[in-house]
Amino acid sequence: MSDTPWLTIIGMGEDGVAGLSMRSQAALAQAEVVMAPPRHLELLCNTTAQTIPWPVPFSDGIDHLETLRGQRVVVLASGDPFWFGAGSVIAQRFGADEWAAHPGPSCFALAASHLGWALERTTCLGLHAAPMARLRRHLAQGTRAIVTLRDGDAVGTLAKYLCDQGFGDSTVTVFEHLGGPQERVTNHAATTLNGTFSHPVCAAIAVAGLGNALTHASGQCDDIFQNDGQMTKRPIRAITLSTLAPKPHEHLWDIGGGSGSIALEWLLAHPSTRATCVEPREDRAANIAVNADTLGVSHRLTLVTGAAPEALPGLETPDAVFVGGGLTAALLDDVIALPARLVINAVTLEGEAWLSAAQAEHGGDLMRIEIANAKPLGRKRGWVSSYPVVQWSLSR
């Protein structure tokens, strides 16, 4: 990186210039242009630089920065710009020799130090530009989380979301203007939280309650998925996810999505996984979209309403493919040709025959899964068998 980049990203706290490091103050003193949100510009004093409020939408500000090359420019952001902030977006646009960064303490660090929480054991989420459902997979008794929020009104939205999910016993500590002279810290129960709060604001949550926590193993309860009965049930889904073996940064095709349960559990496995779900029926595709929103993973799901194999050309190449519905000989030929590991489930005799022939030709593992559940049988009980599932898996 150059010793004199034209662009400097500075993390500023609520105490303004006085709280900046000597490096940051020196960069600010030499700046010809300062771009920042209006509240940060209001904290400046005695600057001779041109000041430009960061526009909305955020991407317009990145475009405007492009026009300022050749001048000494400072961008002011909150706290640590590379933790749910603007830093990484700016760094992706400009070359490594064009910018330098001087981060300040993040709101997560300030909140944790106030509460005495170990930050490495605390979930930290940016909800200032994301739905509350991003919290869903983290909600469990005893969890601690610190979240950024869009504005003061979002504090009430957060409390309502916790109550709606069955975690109304949670304690919510609200931090306003954290680290500055107007700092205010208040503690609330989610069930009784009310009042007016001012931006910038973040909240620390000590999660408590008897809500339905998601498991971190494969095989979520069936009832967390909105469905019309067409879905891979929990025991088969657990086996299927284990065979698919999701890994960080991998992309799944879920063909014949039904309720989307396989794709959604793939996305729950790790925050970097992605999935494309192909479902021919619009009503089922709508259920998949609702389920993705509810579980907070819709930002990593691509939903394609169409029939396979016709809907497959042009989709991003997958690392893994699951076929759970609509298996045909033509579709089987197409997915076998992909450079991805395959897991295909079949319940019909025709599908079983195709998978048996494919395993004989291409190898892989062929498994028959038979499950029976105890059901009432008169005044006693008996075993009721589900349709057996034949699963073929092929690793590349």
Q: Are residues 192 and 227 in the same domain?
A: no
- Exposed, middle or buried: residue 107 (CB in 10 Å: 0-12, 13-18, 19+)? buried
Angle at 356 between CA 355 and CA 358, to 5 degrees: 60
Is 215 a domain residue?
Answer: no
Q: What angle separates helix 329-336 from helix 349-362, to the nearest 10 degrees?
A: 30
The pTM is what? Answer: 0.91
Q: Are residues 162 and 199 in the same domain?
A: yes
Domain of residue 351, residue span = 222-394
| Bridge partners, 77 (sequence order) | 11
**Count of domains in the chain?**
3
Q: Are residues 301 and 387 in the same domain?
A: yes
* 163-205: pLDDT as tens digits: 999 999 999 999 999 999 999 999 999 999 999 999 999 999 9
Q: What angle separates helix 261-269 from helix 234-244, to the nearest 10 degrees?
A: 50
Q: Are residues 247 and 382 in the same domain?
A: yes
Per-residue pLDDT at 132 exceeds 50:
yes
pLDDT for res 296: 97
Q: Indicate the DSSP class of residue 296.
A: T
- Secondary element (H or E) of residue 304: strand 301-305
Q: Are residues 98 and 114 in the same domain?
A: no
Distance CA 168, CA 271 (A): 26
Distance CA 98, CA 91 (A): 9
Distance CA 231, CA 279 (A): 12
Is 318 a domain residue?
Answer: yes
Q: Are residues 164 and 236 in the same domain?
A: no
Per-residue pLDDT at 2 exceeds 70:
no
Average pLDDT over residues 198-215: 96
* 8-25: pLDDT as tens digits: 999 999 999 989 999 999
Cα separations (Å) of 311 from 244, 256, 277, 278, 343? 22, 11, 11, 8, 19
Q: Are residues 84 and 180 in the same domain?
A: no
Out of 105, 124, 158, pick the residue that ends a domain.
105
Are 77 and 12 a contacting pair, CB within 8 Å? yes
Is 217 a domain residue?
Answer: no
Distance CA 279, CA 288 (A): 9
Q: Are residues 137 and 245 in the same domain?
A: no
Q: Are residues 26 and 67 in the same domain?
A: yes
* 258-291: pLDDT as tens digits: 999 999 999 999 999 999 999 999 999 999 999 9
Phi, psi of 142 (to 5 degrees): 95, -10
Place of tokens 């605390």: 122
pLDDT for res 189: 97
Out of 160, 177, 206, pick the residue that ends a domain.
206
Q: Are residues 170 and 295 in the same domain?
A: no
Is 214 a domain residue?
Answer: no
Q: Are residues 246 and 366 in the same domain?
A: yes
Q: Are strands 50-53 and 144-149 parallel, antiparallel or unpaired?
A: unpaired
- Exposed, middle or buried: residue 118 (CB in 10 Å: 0-12, 13-18, 19+)? exposed
Angle at 160 between CA 154 and CA 162, to 5 degrees: 105
